[in-house]
Structure 1
């Protein structure tokens, strides 16, 4: 039992480390594009249970609607500030009407080049702000689109080559009708000769 305790401790430490690293890698993880969108917007209306946000700059992904209605959240990341009408925000959209409310920031403006994230200056917040100001998320989106286009083109080429291979394969045809008749004649001649010899032997 005592031998198992150090192993258990090591396992717990590794688990804790993995969780910590994952949490600290949020700014970089967003660049992988697993969310629907990353955008800057403004809270226009506060309803009973929802906020209405108007997206102004979409840094990654795609947002089709001109206004997003989401469930209310209590405060922004890294601060106790309560959301109010007119606030500029940077948010991660998970689906059409859901944001990551654990990672939403109040900002000083809606200009990605100069905005500041209003938050405690944790290392990952500093990196996040830097990536936004430098346009890194636009670059990440362009990279994803190029990779996707390359994949689609590669798939199309492979499908075309497969079709060409199938078309070029020559399936053996049935025996030519011109050969069938002579073969049948030879067969009957052979049978006739065989029967004739059999009778002579008798």
Structure 2
């Protein structure tokens, strides 16, 4: 579960950075998760993820999470991330990113963050696969300074799906923001 939480935040930032590299609205800044929640029509998904975010400081959020896995989270699961960018008129499709292996994707983009979160959840060793059963984490502090320093400015909606055999079995929705570093200096 912890891996899923950290993966959501880090992967959303990485995907947005990669997509925005050709645009002229990119530069140095800071990532913030504005909200994290269950996806629309969440009852349709086999796996249910409950994640709460609490603001600690300007640079840190604290997360509590709970997930019950019917089967081990291993290489049999895939991942898809649907991203939209908020503009006048709503949230417009921005990018879809996917991988046939959730584990491969997490290890590529968020390995250190995920390992730390798994340690906090009492998973030893802090690696995949994640056993079936109930997994809980309390007061996991996420430091945004670990996210990429370059990105596309704006607010983004992110739906992160876990797939089994091509079928969506779980989903988490995030709203994230990437703010220009110069704007942050002017505020502070």
**TM-score (norm: length of structure 2):** 0.21
Larger % of helix: which? 1
Larger % of strand: which? 2
**TM-score (norm: length of structure 1):** 0.20
In terms of Rg, which structure is larger? Answer: 1
